[in-house]
Amino acid sequence: MPSTRKHKLIIVESPAKARTLSRFLGHSYKVEASQGHVCDLPKSQIGVDIDHDFDPKYITIRGRGDILASIRKEAKNASQIYLATDPDREGEAISWHLAHILGIDEKEACRIEFHEVTKKAIQDALKKPRTIDMGRVDAQQARRVLDRLVGYKISPLLWAKVKKGLSAGRVQSVATRMVVMREREINAFIPEEYWEIAALACDPAQKGKQTAFPVRLTQMGGAKAELSNGEAAEKAAAAIRKASFKVATVKVSERHKSPAAPFTTSSLQQEASRKLNFSTSKTMQVVQQLYEGVDLEGEGTQGIVTYIRTDSVRISDEALSALRAYIPARYGATYLPETPNVYRGRANAQDAHEAIRPTDVERTPERIKDSLTKDQFNLYRLIYNRFVASQMAPAAYETMTAELEGDGLTLRFYGEHKVFAGFTAIYEEGSDEKEESVETNLPAWTEGMKISVRDVETIQHFTQPPARYTEASLVRALEEKGIGRPSTYAPTITTITTRGYVSKEKKRLFPTELGEMVTGMMEQYFSPIVDIDFTADMENRLDEVEEEKLPWKQVIREFYPSFAEMLGVAEKEIEKVEIKDEVSDVTCDKCGAKMVYKMGRYGRFLACPNFPECRNAKPIVTYIDTPCPKCGARLMEKMSTRTKRRFYGCERFPECDFVSWEKPLADKCPKCGSYMIEKRSRKGEVLHLCANESCRYRESVAADTEAETENE
């Protein structure tokens, strides 16, 4: 006879999280996954009733019918239903829709919230269910309706006037404009020449092996040394060579360097880009796996990091206590500061969630390495080390500044020497700028000491324009300007690249001709939509909605009239723009026409201009200067259709089967005569490496400035 015992139903978003929760909870619970949103505005129409106070028209998303049928079936047999979607605006809206579908009273305490997928966190959440937070729901509705109005009103205009398939968006158009504006700055930049003088200084009385220290010219004749041309630099260098120098001043002090805060979504994306070479979308994909649960040997499935969409740097009191007990036990008492390190988040940061941290500080990366993929391990180690370092003592450096004077010239030395590692024993934050380490032994100079100066060198420089954005630096800029929220950074960048507005080369983001054209049109006819301050202010308005200080429809009512006016002007004044495809010198092998360049999801490709009558298309063939190591023919740079990874192959394929994932070089290995390949380390170092695995001779070369430097 079947059991009539009823279970409790928990509804989460992802199947992976559902599997993790099922392992934590007993047979008295059933866990179902909604697989994200179950209701949304229809794709086939605008879905917002403008004439009736902007009422949204929600429908069941196509493909969610079977999922909802399964959830309804389980709900009928459930004694209690808990809505456990993600703890943010989108998650709250999903719970709200599910409550309507399942007929749950809006006053019922059915919503549970947890910020880490651990057994304790789930059990604690089940003890304190709450009602659905309508402030969060309304903020999500306001954002959704705003984005739908902007996207569905402007995009058809772009289709009609420019090119089919284009789109505009409240955040994506601003992000595109930022890339375009940076390119304009670079194009308008006029470099200015300047020179500096470097030399080596040491104590001439020192016997035996001398240690020389780098010094730079700072003053001439009591004024700042400003050398604008080579002639002035050579004159200054000659004066230094003739002069006799003494130590005028010596200042020795101590500098302390404090650790960085635990990760937010934005800072994690930036650091994973710098240290792991991850794109923003890859970072979010991998960290989602760590949050939802991984199968750990001896522990079962566990969520090993806290909630991943956050702009808060706060950590819980419980996590702080555990970490402050762990640090002295693992590293020694000197590595624990007397009081906890306190971090301040951004002014408009949402503080509902903690920073991204490991759910258990005792779960070290090395302990669970065998249970993780390579990407999971590297990202978890980054999160873990940053979290532990955030509550460690500062690093201490002994610093020394000395000025050498002679014949009206002043040379300056600065150096520092680490005397206590502090948090740097486990972690040091990456930087977007190329930094020269100044850590060194310090000279034993005293005031009045005679100093010998040699190897005087003139160095020419030119002022540099701002660097183009990378994904990481664009995320940082969006966050600093208050554009978007943690959940929107990665999808925004994905959208502007797949739409063909921005292209990526060597990690740098370049605006395409199409991106510049559409941005110019948006600036002329929809300037508030692409105005950074306007967009940031709109984010603040959405925050006010979440805090229930402002009705969500009021935001739309204030926005729409002027927007509708802009639409009317644009429809009348924008003339149709004909974008002519760039013609290549490649002949279509099906109809004989000259093929044209097109932009696709994975970049540019060649297509027949006679589409749709002729549908021939082919990848763009790029040759490199290196001959094929097997047969001497040309090598082609290609893209794998499966992994989207670049590789190199012989143009005579299949007659010649040479292929390499690494870029072959024309140089031969000086040890074994095999061909060399080029590899780039995570620190930006370029290596020339022998392709022969039994040899593996290597040599370092200077990395190109564009690939290394990000001086935003």
Supply the DSSP symbol for 349: -
List the chain domain ranges: 7-132, 141-188+470-573, 193-256+399-420+445-462, 265-390, 662-712
Query: How far out from the chain centre does Cα 454 lie?
Result: 45
Say if residues 135 and 548 touch (Cβ distance below 8 Å): yes
Of the candidates 359, 376, 262, which has an alpha carbon nearest to the alpha carbon of residue 305? 359
What's the pLDDT at 78? 93
460-479 pLDDT, tens digit each: 999 999 999 999 999 999 99
Extract the residue ranges of the chain whose pLDDT is less than 70: 1-5, 207-210, 346-352, 431-439, 579, 599-603, 640-645, 680-686, 700-712
403-425 pLDDT, tens digit each: 999 999 999 999 999 999 999 99
Of the candidates 435, 379, 413, which has an alpha carbon nearest to the alpha carbon of residue 257? 435
Q: Which two tokens stand for residue 191?
A: 């470099």
The CATH classification number of 193-256+399-420+445-462 equals 2.70.20.10
CATH class of this structure's domain 7-132: alpha beta
What's the pLDDT at 351? 53
The CATH classification number of 265-390 equals 1.10.290.10
Strands 7-12 and 78-83: parallel
| Topology (CATH) of 141-188+470-573 | Topoisomerase I; domain 2 (1.10.460)
Domain 141-188+470-573 and domain 193-256+399-420+445-462, same fold? Reply is: no
- Spatial neighbors of 505 by CB under 8 A, at least 6 apart, are none
**Of the listed 82, 307, 397, 560, which one is catalytic?**
307
- Spatial neighbors of 484 by CB under 8 A, at least 6 apart, are 171, 175, 478, 492, 539
* 539/159 Cα distance (integer angstroms): 28
Say if residues 173 and 529 touch (Cβ distance below 8 Å): yes
Supply the DSSP symbol for 164: T
Whether 307 is a known active-site residue: answer yes
Q: Which two tokens stand for residue 18?
A: 């559902």
621-661 pLDDT, tens digit each: 778 888 999 888 999 887 765 555 678 999 888 889 898 88
What's the pLDDT at 681? 53
Its pTM surpasses 0.85: no
